[in-house]
Amino acid sequence: MIFRPQSSTLGFPRVELWESSIMLKIEFNNVSKSPLKKKFLEKIAGETIARSGLLDVRKKNISLSFASVSEEEMKKINKNYRRKNMPTDVLSFAEYKNEKEIKKVVDKKVFLGEIILCYNNIEKYCQKNKLDLKKEMTKVISHGVLHLLGFRHGKKMFGMQEKISKFKI
């Protein structure tokens, strides 16, 4: 299926996915001026949310925020929130603690949280390990979204992000 954001009456664009569609609003603050595009983020976030099975996406207007920052800025954020004095690829700041809380949401509008990406860190990792940048970026974005949905590291989470990374985007 071809990605086509379409306007809705509530200001949430309908994001067409491979097998369905979702009302998803993405805010993207590209501080680092990375080559990432909002449409790419929408597609990956939408697929991840829809395939997680946590929200009845047909009845919800979902929003989340992305920021792309420099390695220096990511290092500061990582040190402040995780006490690790080094940059990392992605940090997620979830609005809900876990899957149970998300499943209890009755509001039509659901803000999941914010994902901070460090494009340069991901690009360097790909170069060092001879990985496809687009595929790795898809995994990293999906990983961040899964954390917003309450997933913890494990087989289910890693399996889902691997599956999403195999779609043609």
How confident is the chain (169 residues) per 10-residue block, as mean pLDDT? 35 52 88 95 91 75 95 97 96 90 83 97 97 95 95 91 81
Four-point Cα dihedral 33, 6, 162, 143, nearest 10: 50
The answer to whether residue 96 sits within a structural domain is yes
Range of the domain at 140: 26-165
Predicted TM-score (pTM) of the model is 0.85
User: Distance between CA atoms of 74 and 67, rounded to whole angstroms?
Assistant: 10
Tokens of 129: 């390990």
Q: What is the predicted pLDDT for the residue at 13?
A: 53
* 127 Cβ neighbours under 8 A, 6+ residues apart: none
The answer to whether residue 12 sits within a structural domain is no
Q: What is the predicted pLDDT for the residue at 90?
A: 97
Q: What is the predicted pLDDT for the residue at 58?
A: 65
Alpha carbon 47 to its chain centroid, in Å, reads 10
The answer to whether residue 78 sits within a structural domain is yes
* Number of folded domains that form the chain: 1
The answer to whether residue 101 sits within a structural domain is yes
User: Distance between CA atoms of 169 and 166, rounded to whole angstroms?
Assistant: 9
The CATH number for 30's domain is 3.40.390.30
Q: What is the predicted pLDDT for the residue at 33?
A: 96
